[in-house]
Amino acid sequence: MYRQTRSNNENLKNNMLLANELFNTIWDKAKDSVRHRIHFDLRDSENDDSQRMLNVLEIDTKIPIHRHRDTSEVVIILRGKVREVYFDNQGNEIASYLLEYGSPIPGICVPKGM
């Protein structure tokens, strides 16, 4: 699915190249999923405690309002577009951003706690 580089350099042993083949395969799985979304784990070992994943969302998927209290999140649009919406503690919308592939704003860094 993804390609790891082959190198004698120890620093590059887990270098991961993300190819369109991977995106296409995951996209097909998302289309077949009941929730119309799927994620692919990008961590390189079970000991990796980071949260690196590739999420694919079909146009009609629903993402419940949620908050990452202890972690930040990076959203980068590789195909299509999505609206990132922020809410306050009472559930009122406080900000909204349209993220779109190929646009001036294809991504956003969501701060911890949002």
Tell me the domain boundaries of the chain.
64-114
Residue 17, beta-bridge partner list: 3
Strand segments (E) across the chain: 3-4, 16-17, 37-41, 53-57, 73-76, 81-87, 93-100, 107-110
Q: Are strands 53-57 and 37-41 parallel, antiparallel or unpaired?
A: antiparallel
- pLDDT tens by residue, 53-107: 889 999 888 888 888 888 888 999 999 999 999 999 999 999 999 999 999 999 9
- Tell me which DSSP letter residue 111 carries: P
Q: Which tens digit of pLDDT belongs to each residue from 45-57? A: 788 777 788 899 9
